[in-house]
Amino acid sequence: MKQSVLTSPYLDRLIAFEKQILAHQPQIEAWFRQKWQAHRPPFYGSVDIRNAAYKISSVDMNLFPGGFNNLNPQFLQSEIIAATDAMERTCPDAKSLLIVPENHTRNLFYLQNVFALAEIFRQAGFAVRLGSLNPEITQPTELTTAGGDTLLLEPLQRNGNRLSLADGFTPCVVLLNNDLSGGVPDILKNIEQKLLPPLHAGWTTRRKTQHFAAFNRVASEFAQLVGIDEWQINPYFAACGGLNFHERTGEERLADEVSQLLQKIQQKYAENHIQDEPFVIVKADAGTYGMGVMSVKSPDEVLGLNRKNRNKMATVKEGLEVAEVIIQEGVYTCETVGGAVAEPVVYMMDRFVLGGFYRVHEGRSASENLNASGMRFIPLSGEIPQTEDELLQQYQQNRCFEQWDTAAIPQLAANPDCVCNRFYVYGVIARLSLLAAALELENHIQAA
Amino acid sequence: MKQSVLTSPYLDRLIAFEKQILAHQPQIEAWFRQKWQAHRPPFYGSVDIRNAAYKISSVDMNLFPGGFNNLNPQFLQSEIIAATDAMERTCPDAKSLLIVPENHTRNLFYLQNVFALAEIFRQAGFAVRLGSLNPEITQPTELTTAGGDTLLLEPLQRNGNRLSLADGFTPCVVLLNNDLSGGVPDILKNIEQKLLPPLHAGWTTRRKTQHFAAFNRVASEFAQLVGIDEWQINPYFAACGGLNFHERTGEERLADEVSQLLQKIQQKYAENHIQDEPFVIVKADAGTYGMGVMSVKSPDEVLGLNRKNRNKMATVKEGLEVAEVIIQEGVYTCETVGGAVAEPVVYMMDRFVLGGFYRVHEGRSASENLNASGMRFIPLSGEIPQTEDELLQQYQQNRCFEQWDTAAIPQLAANPDCVCNRFYVYGVIARLSLLAAALELENHIQAA
């Protein structure tokens, strides 16, 4: 991996924070173990982290991670051990697994993720097949991934209360790698097989505000445990509903909320002698894929939205209308890889951190959302690929994601700022968000 | 790692065998998962494997592995995940761990193993301390390992039915890294803490013949599962008791057993058109550390033992008298690393293969026991170190053990003969022996 570089006038605070975390490592791990006994961790997940040196936080938590292809192959053995354990806890007798991927069969990078995910379970000794919800997949269809591997997508079928494939393949575990943004298809409802993650983990049910409400509880308890100000790991947020961006309904209320949050951040910045300019991120509360996201430094920016930006905010993946947003404290990222702004993404399976990568985007600044349209395809060189061949070439050179090549294992004797310790800290932050997701899923069940 | 090289006129048989194993990978993994549900795997273990191309087998199974320092650091994340899982299954609330090492505090390489083992659990977030049975350790004593790391050995104490250290440290899990060759010390008896592995896993109770009797059952079932001749993975063996090497009691009976076993092997070699000369290994039934081991090609060799060889066979570690031996079919090793005869050693924790290394010994031939006195210290160069400094230098250059740098993960699309597939096959063979150890430990409990 290219060395990631941190540039910030607040680096001493980062070192102090990392020292504090490392000094509490046994307490932190014991606390997590106790939490995982009380709260079943999600089957898998990924967390987007922003590091502003004076603050490190999860800014998003994905329960259907789509970047297993971006993990360094050196983590494969850990992935297999974690996957074996996760499967055994779910269905001790499982011999096979049906993966239900997203419908976008033309995204060769996503297909590479599906291949990587399937390989983990294959190498753990499970028979793995892919059942597609895509109405275009009417018969077994071979697709080629970005890396040149072959996937066989088969139409998902239902026999009674069991999902199956045409030849009768009907395993006891079904793994969703589809975030259900377009709603829960009937074929998935009330099946008797173990469906992981559960349907209510999809964006039909999930709300970012609920995740970060749960994160508040987790972060508060964790901050007490290690003796830090909770704000160091937890961004402020507010909710705003009843919006209609096309018709400009609720714009004033949104501006008010933005204004209040910016003031709250400014106050905290002043208390902590931070010179940065506060900003917030306005995101669709049920959004994903970096759609419906705005970075805002003044309430005026949400008042005077032009048609293009209103359209951008109005709908997200699968054409869903956005009526509710989360307004989240923006966290600057002070990390760069090869000169481009970078944010770490941490992958987990069950309660284990597997590895991670850096999402990098040369065209974006430190206060912008990096999971932006085009993010996957704008390489570090800044040259936008013109043909599919160029795009594949860039992929194979891995110029959009910088894989971690070090495990998130603390080296207590080493410099707190060394890369394994930094990744350990990121792994701790990511697990806080994973724990919040566990609480969030429990709340759905209690509410249902 | 230096490339390991296989040289054998029977290589085509090895490839066919590896293909057969790989073709049954999902069935094999499902079978292991089912077995581990019925039989709790030992906490950890290592298996010595010999590969004769026409035959690959476990020849020894150690329940107190002492070479964690020889594992490639790239496997550390897997080790931590496996250790976390193993600890959680043992004692879900454990926050700390007391390791009881062997008494040989002057073996700096063994101390490095203790350091490596402790680090796995430390990095998994457990507080780890070392409680010594060594009567010379009367107060907390700092020792320096071969790699220059520091270990704090503290005298093991007992308060009521709990093991502890002087300051009251008394964790719920005690991990033995001491094979109890010298008997079970009273201090370890009837403690209320979870003691892993259990006392009856020590060489006070264990017998190699019992392990290989259990291995017979495992190998037979496995051979049926994958459609091979059980002999391909299972060496013949016989037991011989009532011996006294000093007084030459039982020598004739031993020679008879050797003779019969050699005939049995010769018959199998003839059936399978194998030109090798049969040999057997005579080993103390409760022995370890490569002590009390003889490689024998004719019954005459055990009849005419000179005083030196009688002494060699008569006592093993901690001065134990050898009255019972296992006579085991010898398996040639056709693998070399850097020109020296090599045998793979596979390390496991709970049900997971972690990694392995090659034990190499330039001074030995393909039919000899490589776990021989001097094995650790005779480097590939053949130059025997004269000073401790030279010895340490060789250690740091890792010239006696060649670490695996590839995980034991099958690549079904690759050549069956590629290194990951070979290591996968070794991992399967090692787990057969681990399963046999699980049965062996259950038999102790049923017999008690």
Q: Considering only CB atoms, which chain B residues are within 8 Å of A95?
A: 26, 30
Q: Report chain B residues whose CB lies below 8 A from the CB of A88.
A: 33
CATH 3.30.1490.20 matches A236-330: yes
Range with the lowest mean pLDDT among A310-314, A378-382, B383-387? A378-382
- Quote the CATH superfamily of domain A73-201: Glutamate-cysteine ligase, N-terminal domain (3.40.50.11280)
Inspect the interface and report whether the beta carbons of A410 and B123 lie closer than 8 Å.
yes
For residue range B75-85, what is the model confidence (pLDDT) as tens digits?
Answer: 999 999 999 99
A15 near B CB under 8 A? no
Mean predicted lDDT score pLDDT of chain A:
89
Q: Please choose, from the candidates B441, B443, B446, B29, the residue with its C-alpha nearest in 3D space to the C-alpha of residue B195.
A: B441
Q: Averaged over B237-255, what is the pLDDT? A: 91
In this prediction, what percent of chain B has a pLDDT beyond 70?
88
Q: Is A127 part of the contact surface with chain B (CB cutoff 8 Å)?
A: yes
Q: What pLDDT was estimated at residue A414?
A: 80
- Taking contacts as CB-CB distances below 8 angstroms, the residues of chain B near A407 are 76-77
Distance from CA of B354 to the nearest CA of A (A): 8
- Which residues, 6 or more positions from B247, have their beta carbon under 8 angstroms from its beta carbon? none
Q: Percent of chain A having pLDDT more than 90?
A: 66
pLDDT value for A386? 55
pLDDT in tens, B42-76: 999 999 999 999 999 999 999 999 999 999 999 99
Query: What would the mean pLDDT of B115-132 be, rounded to a whole number?
Result: 97
Contacts 24+ apart (CB under 8 A), B288-291: B288/B62, B288/B179, B288/B181, B288/B203, B288/B316, B288/B317, B289/B181, B289/B316, B289/B317, B289/B371, B290/B369, B290/B370, B290/B371, B290/B372, B290/B373, B290/B375, B291/B315, B291/B316, B291/B317, B291/B373
In this complex, is the C-beta atom of A38 within 8 Å of any C-beta atom belonging to chain B? Answer: no
Residue A142 has pLDDT above 90, yes or no: yes
Looking at beta carbons, which residues of chain B come within 8 Å of A30?
Answer: 95, 125
From chain A, the residues in CB contact with B408 under 8 A are 77
ipTM comes to: 0.89
Contact B74 A78 (CB under 8 A): no
- Residue A231 contacts by C-beta under 8 Å, 6 or more apart in sequence? A55, A268
Please give the pLDDT value at position A375: 40
pLDDT confidence of residue B446 = 83
Distance from CA of A78 to the nearest CA of B (A): 5
Q: Identify which has the larger pLDDT, A217 or A7.
A: A217
Average pLDDT of the segment spanning B398-424: 81
- CB contacts of B74 in chain A (<8 Å) are 74
Measured between alpha carbons, how far is residue B202 from residues B182, B240, B243 in Å? 9, 21, 22
Closest Cβ–Cβ partner in A30, A85, A126 for B95: A30
Least confident of A27-31, A78-82, B158-162, B289-293: B289-293
Q: Over 50: is that where the pLDDT of A332 sits?
A: yes
Q: What is the mean pLDDT of residues A251-263?
A: 96
pTM for the predicted model, two decimal places: 0.91
pLDDT at B222 over 70: yes
Indicate the pLDDT class of residue A413, thresholds 50, 70 and 90. Answer: confident
Give how far A411 is from chain B: nearest CA, Å.
8
Point out the residue among A84, A125, A409 whose CB comes nearest to the CB of B123: A409
User: Is A32's CB within 8 Å of B95's CB?
Assistant: no
Contact A46, A67 (CB under 8 A): yes
> Residue A380: what pLDDT?
37
Whether residue B404 lies within 8 A of chain A, CB to CB, comes out as: no
Predicted confidence at residue B7, as pLDDT, reads 87
User: What is the model's pLDDT at position B104?
Assistant: 83
- From B88's Cα to the closest Cα of chain A, the distance in A is 8
A81 CB within 8 Å of a chain B CB = yes
Q: pLDDT confidence of B305, banded at 50, 70, 90?
A: confident
Mean pLDDT of A192-212: 94
- Predicted confidence (pLDDT) at residue B202 exceeds the cutoff of 50: yes
Q: Is the pLDDT reported for residue A374 higher than 50? A: no
| Residue of A24, A77, A126 for testing the chain B interface, max B β-carbons within 10 Å | A77
Measured between beta carbons, the chain B residues lying within 8 angstroms of A225 are none
Q: Where are the domains of chain B?
A: 1-63+206-235+333-448, 73-201, 236-330
Q: What is the CA radius of gyration of chain B?
A: 21
Q: Is B89 on the interface with A (CB under 8 A)?
A: no
pLDDT for the residue A387? 60
Whether the CB of B126 is below 8 Å from some CB of chain A: the reply is yes
- Please give the pLDDT value at position A391: 55
Long-range Cβ contact pairs of A30-33 (< 8 A, separation 24 or more): A30/B95, A30/B125, A31/A222, A31/A225, A32/A351, A32/A431, A32/A435, A32/B125, A33/B84, A33/B88, A33/B92, A33/B93, A33/B125
For the stretch B3-41, pLDDT in tens is: 788 889 999 999 999 999 999 999 999 999 999 999 999
Locate A284 and state its tokens.
């669709």
Q: Which residue of B has its CA nearest to A150?
A: B413
